[in-house]
Amino acid sequence: MGLVLALSASTLGCGSATHDPVVRIGQTSIESATVKHWERALSLRAPITSSRAYSLESRHAKAIDYLISAHWLIREAEQRGLAIPAGTVKRYVEARLGFHVSLADINKKLSATGRTMSDVELEARAVLSAIKLREAILGQAPRVTRTEVVGYYTRHRDSFRRERRVVDLIEQLASRSAATALAHRLGPGRRFVKRAMHETVSRPTRYGEEHDLNASLVRAIYAAPLHKIAMPVLYVGNWVIFVVRGVERGPLPLTEAEGLIAEQLQALHRKQTLAAFIVKYRREWRAKTTCRTGFVVAECSESRENLESEAIPLPEA
């Protein structure tokens, strides 16, 4: 059962006292009273980092799971020199509870969630630790090399095909009405050709859609019928009219495909780096976690349940 990273920003809510320890993580103990406290809290409101609700049947296990996951995150960040300063935690809590809310209103708000200010501060520390960890791990992903890009293109050349449109454009028209009037006056034939610029336009890749200032105009060109003047398109503060004359199809050259390939490969490197960290992280912390009978969840060393290695316990920043 383990919290995915988007949910593992739980509060620890436990200390080193041993009145009734039910879970031990290294030298730290979680007591049965802490578990009961979080059972009630989770029944009233999901963590501030999530909108998830917990059923009555799963509250006991979820409370244990939540506390263990939070402890793992906070301690892992500390071991990596990424401990969250108290001031950062305070600002995060204030942003979530409201900077200008009175203390009485804050206490009322917390009471409705079954939490104390200490609970919320620990919860905040856990989610901030998770974000720091994710940033650090993804920063270790190897950069994509030119050799990788060329190799990928060579192996998947047939999947990189392009469609180009041959188009005549008249640009820098001051208004939509002026563009429409000119289109009616010229018509799509010879007079339009004489006035227009002649271009060959490639369909943008996903990378181009995100980075090319021409993307909106190109989309309009690919939506237009052949041999007819298209409706005016606003482009860089002026209006454009155009006629698509024909379509050319062929392989997409590496120079046009490499941006998309590099983006895809870098995303894969990041995913693999994070997945490898999660497997190692969970294995190491599970070995340090012991749970009493009746309090065993997947994160406990006594559990025979497989930890979900594909689950990502680190939220997006």
Quote the tokens at residue 102. 């009175």
Report domain extents, the chain: 1-160+254-317, 166-251
At 6 the three-state DSSP class reads: coil
Q: What's the CA gap between 307 and 288, in Å, rounded?
A: 15
67, 13 Cβ separation under 8 angstroms: yes
Whose CA is closest to 32, among 288, 301, 293?
293
How does residue 271 score in pLDDT terms, banded at 50, 70 and 90?
very high
Q: What's the CA gap between 164 and 228, in Å, rounded?
A: 17
11, 70 Cβ separation under 8 angstroms: yes
How does residue 286 score in pLDDT terms, banded at 50, 70 and 90?
very high
254, 205 Cβ separation under 8 angstroms: no
Whose CA is closest to 289, among 278, 276, 275, 303?
303
Give the model's pLDDT for residue 110.
82
Give the model's pLDDT for residue 50.
52
Task: Report in angstroms the alpha-carbon separations of 182 from 136, 189, 195, 241.
Answer: 57, 13, 11, 9
pLDDT, the chain, mean: 84
Q: What's the CA gap between 208 and 204, in Å, rounded?
A: 5
Q: What's the CA gap between 268 and 271, in Å, rounded?
A: 5
Is pLDDT larger for residue 313 or for residue 148? 148
pLDDT of 220-263, one tens digit each? 999 999 999 999 999 888 999 999 999 988 888 898 889 989 99
Residue written as token pair 């909106």: 216
Q: How many CA atoms lie within 13 A of 189 on its CB side?
A: 2
Give the model's pLDDT for residue 113.
81
Cβ count near 125 (within 10 Å): 25
Considering the four listed CATH numbers 3.90.1150, 1.10.4030, 3.30.530, 3.40.190, the one that applies to the domain covering 1-160+254-317 is: 1.10.4030
Give the model's pLDDT for residue 108.
80
pLDDT of 187-221, one tens digit each? 999 999 999 999 999 876 555 555 566 778 898 99
Residue written as token pair 């052949």: 226
